[in-house]
Amino acid sequence: MTPQKYECHEPKHPYVILLEPLQPDGIGEAVLAGVAITKVNVIRELDPFAEVVEGNTASLRSAPHGRTRILWKPPGTGVKWCVVRISDRPRFAVFELPTTKWKTRDASAYPPEPDGWAKMPGCKPVFYFADGYTYVAEGNEDPETIWHQVGYPPKERDDVIALQTSTGLWPAKFGDKDWAWCFWNDHECRWQILASYEDHWRFQLLEPLPQCDSALAKLVLYDSVDCPVDLTFT
């Protein structure tokens, strides 16, 4: 039984395990979800999941989290016949953010990306290693793109999005080397930070602010330190 990935380079798309040999353009039986038997290259005996390796259709690769749960495997490492359950992804995971620079959506992406979200590519998964009794950001696993909901102010929405696009900065509470709990959003098919909606903004007053009145102020973004930027609000 051989895992076969769709012709798609997006790692979150599903794959199937063939139940019979299949020629190009042929039709055959395969498992898309549920329990199946397949070969898994076991990297660590404690890995509870398995994932596709790009370009390898001979076996899956064990991982601390992935789209396939390992139900049973023989002892030891290396390529093993294992019992797995496809499409059984863990619901929660921890990732290390690589920078303070958050990106806005890619307007040309398909499927479309929401413009009310910020994203950060290149996030390392954080795993618990029993031999060291500690959590470590794992650089040998594939990085993920993490998404976070944003509260852009309506009146200055376009200006704030343009500023974030050009600088990567916005008033986020998560930044360089932070560890963030995330959950898998089935509707959006992406990892999303498990935290409150980002709608708290910092401002530097440019003039006195009378009670129950208005004043001009500069937006303050965080880049290792709080930095006022040339974007004025009332």
pLDDT tens for 80-113 read 999 999 887 778 888 999 988 888 888 787 777 7
pLDDT tens for 145-186 read 988 877 676 677 777 778 778 877 776 677 788 888 888 887
Q: At which residue do the structure tokens 């793109």 appear? A: 145
In 3-state terms, what secondary structure has residue 190?
A: strand
- Provide CB contacts within 8 A for 171, sequence distance 6+: 198, 200, 201, 202, 219, 220, 221, 222
| Interval 33-44 mean pLDDT | 90
Domain boundaries, the chain: 2-86, 92-233
Any bridge partners for residue 95, and if so which? 125, 180
The region of weakest confidence among 7-11, 132-136, 190-194 is 7-11
**Which comes out higher in pLDDT, residue 30 or 75?**
75
- Token pair belonging to 126: 């954080």
Residues 3/70/92/94 CA torsion (nearest 10 deg): -90
| Percent of all residues in the chain with a pLDDT value above 90, rounded to a whole number | 14
* Closest to 42 in 3D by CA, of 88, 5, 84, 75: 75
pTM of the model: 0.63
